[in-house]
Chains A and B, each alone.
Chain A
């Protein structure tokens, strides 16, 4: 337990995810999302720490995943600094296992997913050994790239801390 009374679990992370730790906001007051997963790469907690909490963290995460009521990872994000490192494939496999064992939930990719998410989903499924794939919504984000993701995607839940928005031109 930490000072907030939050439960803390420790897992063996894949080596690729060295330095990362995870905060899961469980069943927040939200109409769309059942879990808000905030992922950090810093030394505020040891690698592999998973915190289950009723509060949303103050610090803006390096990566996040918003899981809806159908247990689909409806929205994911990566800090521009950490992109193109393949972290989501490793986290995809990890969270698939974690949510199955911790919450008895079959976490899946959303129907409406981008090309980028679809590629990660395929790689993660291959490693996880899952042949079934959530069908993709034709005419959705896979065919039409989203110009700019929402800045407060979990609104009215908000990460307030200062965060990197993008590289200067």
Chain B
């Protein structure tokens, strides 16, 4: 079995949608978020004219607990076909996240997806989110397979 086949076998085994170090929200909310992320990914693939049926995308997430407001942030993968996003868990009223110079008001439950490589900044420190990244299999060289699941 080739290395690629081995990786594919591991990556496609059923695993939890989000990594186990994120116990904050109930599983139903995660399932709903996962469903919505999938829809946003479908829309984004359509927008960027990427083949959803010929590419297998994988999702990974991290808990973002508090941010700095004096700096801007970046995520891995500089452009399509990588995507980044955030599922807002907690945000102060009136706080916003700026992605590629476009401010977006934040409220718990909001979900955002954007092309990777955009500049991100935050207006308030107390912003808690599930940050996530989406990438096709070809971009997952030497990635820990337990952190990624198919979407």
When the two chains form their complex, are residues B71 and A164 in contact, meaning their CB atoms are under 8 A apart?
A: yes
Stretch at the interface among A14-22, A99-107, A110-118, A149-157: A149-157
Per-residue interface assignment for chain B, residues 27 to 53, with 1 indicating a CB less than 8 Å from any chain A CB and 0 otherwise: 000000000000000000000000000
Count of CB-CB pairs between chains A and B under 8 Å? 89
When the two chains form their complex, are residues A168 and B141 in contact, meaning their CB atoms are under 8 A apart?
A: no
Which chain B residues numbered 1 to 23 have a C-beta less than 8 Å away from chain A? 3
When the two chains form their complex, are residues B71 and A168 in contact, meaning their CB atoms are under 8 A apart?
A: yes
Q: Is the interface of A mostly helix, strand, loop or mixed?
A: loop
Interface size class of B (residues with CB under 8 A): 20 to 34
The 3 A-B residue pairs whose C-beta atoms are closest, nearest first, are: A160-B76, A165-B74, A55-B144
Partner of B143, one of A55, A163, A165: A55
When the two chains form their complex, are residues A60 and B143 in contact, meaning their CB atoms are under 8 A apart?
A: no
Distance (whole angstroms) from the CB of A67 to the closest CB of chain B: 15
Q: Is A130 positioned at the interface, with any CB of B under 8 Å from its CB?
A: no
When the two chains form their complex, are residues B68 and A164 in contact, meaning their CB atoms are under 8 A apart?
A: yes
Q: Is A9 positioned at the interface, with any CB of B under 8 Å from its CB?
A: no
When the two chains form their complex, are residues A54 and B142 in contact, meaning their CB atoms are under 8 A apart?
A: yes
Per-residue interface assignment for chain B, residues 132 to 151, with 1 indicating a CB less than 8 Å from any chain A CB and 0 otherwise: 01010011011110110000
Q: Is A25 positioned at the interface, with any CB of B under 8 Å from its CB?
A: yes
Pick 27 A–B contacts, CB within 8 A, sort by A: A28-B141, A29-B142, A30-B141, A55-B144, A56-B142, A56-B144, A58-B60, A58-B143, A59-B62, A60-B76, A151-B78, A151-B117, A156-B139, A156-B141, A158-B77, A158-B82, A158-B143, A160-B135, A162-B64, A162-B74, A164-B68, A164-B72, A165-B73, A166-B71, A167-B71, A168-B70, A168-B121
Q: Is A131 positioned at the interface, with any CB of B under 8 Å from its CB?
A: no
Q: Is A8 positioned at the interface, with any CB of B under 8 Å from its CB?
A: no
**Nearest B residue (CB) for A55:** B144
**Nearest B residue (CB) for A80:** B71
Chain A residues proximal to chain B, CB less than 8 Å: 4, 25, 28-30, 54-60, 80-81, 151-152, 156-168
Assembly CA distance A77 to B15 (angstroms): 34
